[in-house]
Amino acid sequence: MNKNLNILKLVAFGMLSASIVLIVLGVYMYTQREKELKEYKLIKCKIIKIDEPVRGNVELTFRDLNGSYPPFKYFVYYDASEGELEYKLNEILEVYYYEKDVSKSEIKDFINNYETPFIMLVIGFVFLIDFPIMFFVIRINKKKLSRSPSQNYGIKDSVISE
């Protein structure tokens, strides 16, 4: 049983290390994404056309409300078996418009714009929370083992040999 507790302790420290790496990487990726999005222009656009040649693959055509930029296309993929497209014709949305390569423009949405850093941070924090819980479990099991050392050998105290 002591070997199992050492393995559990090793796993706990492994999870702590992984959580630190994931949190640091998530923060780094978030700041890099912020720098990248500063090169984009945040503009308000109207959806002027929705084309869905294949169910689940949608081509949205946007037009800048100010008329400063030409209309551009944005591609959206969704699971058609789970629901309908969340965008509607004539809907007005904020868009990160990238002049250098319009195909990299994207709709402003925190989860979609920061998906990878967000996932890394969530997993990192979950692993970080698990670390003290695992040590609590190790401590409880150590106390159980120290109270009845005969259990290590598979002999119960109530068994009397004649």
d(CA 131, CA 146): 23
Structural domain contains residue 66: yes
Q: What's the chain's Rg over C-alpha atoms?
A: 28
pLDDT score recorded for residue 6 = 83
Comparing C-alpha atoms, which of 146, 144, 56, 72 is closest to residue 104? 72
- Report whether pLDDT(17) > 70: yes
Q: Give the phi and the psi of residue 51 in degrees, each rounded to 5.
A: -125, 130
Is the pLDDT at 154 greater than 60, yes or no?
A: no
153 belongs to a structural domain = no
- Specify whether 77 is located in the same domain as 125: no
Domain membership of residue 76 (yes or no) is yes
Match 């949405």 to its residue by tokens.
109
pLDDT in tens, 34-73: 999 999 999 999 999 999 988 889 999 999 999 899 999 9
Mean pLDDT of 70-89: 89
The confidence score (pLDDT) of residue 49 equals 95
Q: DSSP letter for 155, please.
A: -
pLDDT of residue 155: 54
- How far is 161 from 86, CA to CA, in rounded Å? 74
pLDDT at 22 over 70: yes
Asked if 18 and 58 sit in the same domain, the reply is no
Helix (H/G/I), strand (E/B), else coil: 86:
coil
The more confident residue out of 83 and 39 is 39
151 falls within a domain: no
Q: What is the domain extent for residue 127?
A: 2-34+116-146
- pLDDT class for 141, splitting at 50, 70, 90? confident
- Residue 148's pLDDT is 60
